[in-house]
Structure formats: structure tokens, C-alpha cells
Structure 1
Amino acid sequence: MQIHVLASGSTGNAIFVEMNQTKLLVDAGISARRIKNSLDSLGTRVEDIDGVLITHEHHDHVSGLTTLLKKYRLPAYANPDTWLAMSCRQALPDECCLSFKDSLDIGEMKIEPFSISHDAADPVGYSLYCGEIKCSVATDLGFVTPEVKQSLSLSDVVVLESNHDLDMLKKGSYPWPLKKRIMGNKGHLANTDAGWTLARLPRKARTDVFLAHLSQENNRPDLAANTVGGILAEQRIKLGEEITLHLTYPDRIAGIK
């Protein structure tokens, strides 16, 4: 198994997951060239990707999709409302645009989408299974519902939003309507939300967690790690043993094998 967050943040998002020779991308919010170059650096050809899973239609999750599908004819999966809301949909090859409503199987992986709370048409996170291994992705969500908590539970790897520090956001330069949107139930998770979510999750003996979609304006990697890690430590969760935190970045790859 290997999971690499190729990019994460408001400027673009893409995650590469490989389990038992099945290779998937979750989102394609950076250029197709950058996706190709990133995969090349990991020893994977973009032509060998078995599918692209789209969480929602916002630009920072689909900006590379048009070139990726036109040039490489990769199959892409999204729910029907996401396809309808996607501004680039008319430019995409119809045969590459596949819809789902429930779970689907791609190669050796079973994929189960789950609803998340965000200001998009029908946004989802994903749980990816291969044998006993489970990887879950939940970024761009305003709060953690019981369904999300259940979907993240007992994962070997979790990619979870840790978007902003609440004090930085409140005191920052964003206009109030944008601050209100980010803090709302259909906005983005604060560092403290991510920390308490992880602290309360049913877990396996060891879990790797990627803190994702960090705001460049209203957060810092060290602050996210310290806030989340502090909450976990207060709850007597052993960092580096029970939960290992990994930071993600908009401009470089973060991953595990």
C-alpha cells in the first residue's frame, strides 16, 4: 500500500492511492502535467491509473480533469449531481465520465462514498478497501456528521481536513462573508475540530493521519500539528504509536508506503 498526497489546499488537491496493484487518484485539482510529473517521481505512469474519484465539483478539485481525461482517457467517477454541477463537464469525453450512487469496485479496491457537509452539489468523501486495509478521505467539510465518523472509523489511513486556526481566521484579512462561510456547517474544519474528531474515532491499533487542506492564509503546518497533537495527547493517545500525524502541502508531495 502507498498513499501520497500530491497537493492539498485551496490552490489544488490530488491524492494517489495504490493497493494491490490498483492505482487511483482522488481528485484532480492540479494540472495534468503536474500530476504526471508527480506520479513519475513515485515510479508510476499516469497511463496506469485505474480511475479518478471526484469528491465534488469545486475548481481546486477538478482543474486538471479536462486535460487528464482528454489526453489519457482515464475513467473518472463522480455522482450524478456532481457531474451536472461541474463547469468543465461539456469539455470532457462522455465515455470517461462514469456515475455511481453507492459503492463500486475498481480492480482490487472497493470504494464506498459517504456524504459530507460542504457547499457543493452533492459532495462526498471516500473509504477505500483492499482486503483488511482501509483508507478514508474527508476534506472540505464544515462539520463531522455521525455518517462521516462511522466512515472514518477503523481506518488504517485517514486524510482529514485541518483547514484553519479559528483565531487566525477571525483576526485575518478575509471579508466577513467569507469567514462566515468557512466557519459554517458547510465550510471547512478547524484544527480543533480535526483534533477532536480523531480523538473520538474508533481506531485500529495504529493509524496514519494526513492533515489536509491547510489554509495558507489562516493556518500554519506547525500550528495544525501542535493543535491536533495537543488534543490527542490530552486524551492520552500516544502520538507516533497509536496515531502518527503527517502534514500535507500545496506545493510538494507527502506520503507513506
Structure 2
Amino acid sequence: MQIHVLASGSTGNAVFIEMDNTKLLVDAGISTRRIKQSLAAIGTNVEDLDAVFITHEHRDHVNGLQTLLKKYRLPAYARPDTWKSLYCRAALPDECCQALPDSLDIGTVKVEPFPISHDAADPVGFRLYAGNTKVCVATDLGFVTPTVKDALALSDVLVLESNHDLDMLQNGSYPWPLKKRIMSNRGHLANTDAGWALARLDRKAHTDVFLAHLSRENNRPELAEDTVANILTAQGCKLGQDITLHLTYPEKISGFTHNKQEAIV
């Protein structure tokens, strides 16, 4: 198994997941050239991707999709309303644009989308299963609903949003309407939200958690990690034993292979 967050943040998002030799990309929010280069850095060819999954239509999740599909003719899955809302839909090859069902199998991997609360047409997170292994991706969500909590439970690997520090956001330079959007139930998770969500999850003996979609303006990687870690520790979680936290970055690859962390700059 490989999990590599190729990029994460408001400037672009893409996550590579390989399970049972099935290679998947969740979101294509960076350029096709960068996707190709990032995959090559971890020993994978872009041509070998089995499918692309899109969480929602916001540009930081789809900016590279047009070139990626036109050049490599990969199958891409998104909710019908997401396709309708996508700015570049008319330029995409029709045969590549597949409607995302509630469950589908790609190779030996079962992919199940689940609804999330975000200001998009029909946004989703993803849970992926291969044998006894479960991987979840959940970013761009205003709060953790009971449905999301159930979806994330008992994950081996979880990519979870930890977007902002609330004090930094409230005291920062963003205009008030944008601050309200980010803090709303259809906005983004604060560091404290991520920490409490993890603390309240049903978990396996060990879970690897990538803290994702960190704001450059309203967060710092070490602050996100410390805030989440402090909440988990206060709730009796043993960091490094029960949960291992990994940070993600806009311009770096972070991830691991076969449960051995291999952070890549």
C-alpha cells in the first residue's frame, strides 16, 4: 500500500493511493505536468493510474483535470451535479467523465463516496477498501456530521482537513464574508475541529492521519500538529502508538509505503 499526498491546500490538491496494485488519484487540483513529475518521484507512471476521483468542483481540486483527461484518457468519477458545475466540463472527453455511484470496484479496491458539508454542488469524501485495509479522504468539510464520523471510523489511514487556527483566521486579513464562509458549517475544519473529530472516532489499534488542506494565511504546520496532538493526548491517545500524525504541504509530497513513513521534499 502507498499513500502520498502530492499537494494539499488552497493552491491545489491531489492524493495518490495504491492498494492491491490498483492506482488511484483523488482530485487533480495541480497541473498535469506536476502530477506526472510527483508520481515519477515515487516510482509511478501517470499512464498507470486506474482512475481519478473528484471530491467536488472547486478549482483547487480540478485545475489539472482538463489536460490530464485529454492527454491520458483516464476514467474520472464525480457526482452528476459536480460534472454539471465543473468549469471545464465542455472541454473534457465525454468517455472519460463517469457518474460516481454509491459504490464501485476498481480492480480489487472498493470505493465508496460519502456526503460532506461544503459549499459545492454535491461534495463527497471517499473511503476505500482492499481486504482488511481502509483508507479515507475527507477535506473541505465545514463540520463532521454523524455520516462523516461513521465513514471515517476504523480507518487505517485517514487524510483529514485541519484548515485553520480559529484565532489566526478571526484576527487575520481576510474580509469578514470570507471568514464567515470558512467558519461556517459548509466551510472548512479548524485545527480544534480536526483534533476533536479524531478523539471521538472509533479507531483501530493504530491509525496514520495526514492533516490536510492547511491554510497558508491562517495556519502553520507546527500549530496544526500541536493543536491536534494536544487534544488527542488530553483524551488519552498515545501519539505514535494509537495515532501517528503526518503533515501535508502545498508544494511537497508527503506519504508512506507499506506503513513506513517516507516524507519526500
Aligned to 1:167: 167
**What letter corresponds to residue 183 of structure 2 in structure 1?**
M
Alpha-carbon offset, residue 78 of structure 1: 0.3
Aligned to 2:148: 148
Aligned to 1:134: 134
Q: Percent identity?
A: 74
Alpha-carbon offset, residue 213 of structure 1: 0.1
Aligned length: 257
Aligned to 2:26: 26
For 1:58 and 1:183, how far apart are their aligned partners in 2? 18
Aligned to 1:113: 113
Alpha-carbon offset, residue 228 of structure 1: 0.1
Alpha-carbon offset, residue 101 of structure 1: 2.8
Alpha-carbon offset, residue 111 of structure 1: 0.3
Aligned to 1:209: 209
**What letter corresponds to residue 248 of structure 1 in structure 2?**
T
After TM superposition, list the pairs within 5 Å mapping 1:39-188 onto structure 2: 39-188=39-188
For 1:42 and 1:100, how far apart are their aligned partners in 2? 28
**What letter corresponds to residue 252 of structure 2 in structure 1?**
R
Alpha-carbon offset, residue 222 of structure 1: 0.2
Aligned to 2:237: 237
Ranges in structure 1 where 5+ consecutive residues have no aligned partner: none
For 2:180 and 2:19, how far apart are their aligned partners in 1? 39
CA-to-aligned-CA distance 1:198-228 (integer Å, 9 cap, x gap):
0000000000000000000000000000000
CA RMSD of aligned residues (A): 0.4
95-104 or 236-245, which moves further after superposition?
95-104
Alpha-carbon offset, residue 108 of structure 1: 1.3
CA-to-aligned-CA distance 1:31-50 (integer Å, 9 cap, x gap):
00000000001110000000
For 2:111 and 2:4, how far apart are their aligned partners in 1? 18
CA-to-aligned-CA distance 1:51-80 (integer Å, 9 cap, x gap):
000000000000000000000001000010
Aligned to 2:9: 9
For 2:31 and 2:181, how far apart are their aligned partners in 1? 27
**What letter corresponds to residue 62 of structure 2 in structure 1?**
V
Determine helix, strand or coil for the equivalent of 1:15: strand
For 1:29 and 1:59, how far apart are their aligned partners in 2? 7
TM-score, normalisation: structure 1: 1.00
TM-score, normalisation: structure 2: 0.97
Query: Is the aligned partner of 1:246 residue 2:215?
Result: no
CA-to-aligned-CA distance 1:158-213 (integer Å, 9 cap, x gap):
00000000000000000000000000000000000000000000000000000000
For 2:243 and 2:99, how far apart are their aligned partners in 1? 34
**What letter corresponds to residue 30 of structure 1 in structure 2?**
I
For 2:101 and 2:184, how far apart are their aligned partners in 1? 26
Moved over 2 A (4+): none
Determine helix, strand or coil for the equivalent of 2:5: strand
